Each structure stands twice: as C-alpha cells, then as structure tokens.
Amino acid sequence: MTPSELKPGGLYFVIGYEEEDLARPMVHSYEYIGTARDSTPDAPYHFRFLGSDDRLELAEHQLDILLTVRGLISALEEFALANDKKVR
C-alpha cells in the first residue's frame, strides 16, 4: 500500500496470526483517518481500530501490512487453500 492509495474514511485490514505456524488468523479492521499535523514524522498515517477508539499510527514503510477488501479476500483464499492441504 502506498500513501496515495489511502483514502480518508476507507477501510483497511491487517491479518495477524495467533501462533507462529500461521494456523489461526486474526483479522483487524481499521478506518483511515488521515495524517495529523501533530504526528511524529516516524508515524504520520493514522487509523482507528473499528469498534473502539484505539488508534494505529504507521510510518510509510509499514503501510505494506494493510490490505484492501480485495486483498483480504485473496489472502484468506490463500490461507484456506493452504489449510485444506494440511488437513488432507
């Protein structure tokens, strides 16, 4: 994800995993708020964790963890295929 792709009010997702073997994905949903004048240069991109007032602040080099809806669907499809192979 690049800064030019971010849209204020847009929804973005991060997939984390509970365990090192990547067997239990956790999807976190965020709304992009924008950049803030009082933000540090290290983390100028601000997001709100949906369902709370918690914030996530990212630097430009960290934006690659964000997924769009299409990216989330693709990542979950890949997870499902890999998981199906493990179960067989």
In this predicted structure, the answer to whether residue 18 has a pLDDT above a threshold of 90 is: no
pLDDT at 38: 67
pLDDT-wise least confident of 26-30, 48-52, 74-78, 79-83: 79-83
> pLDDT band for position 21 (50/70/90)?
confident
Those residues with Cβ within 8 angstroms of residue 52's Cβ, 6 or more apart along the chain or in another chain: none
Q: Which residue has the higher pLDDT, 51 or 41?
A: 51
pLDDT at 46: 93
Sheet with 45-49, edge to edge strand ranges: 11-17, 25-35, 45-49, 55-58
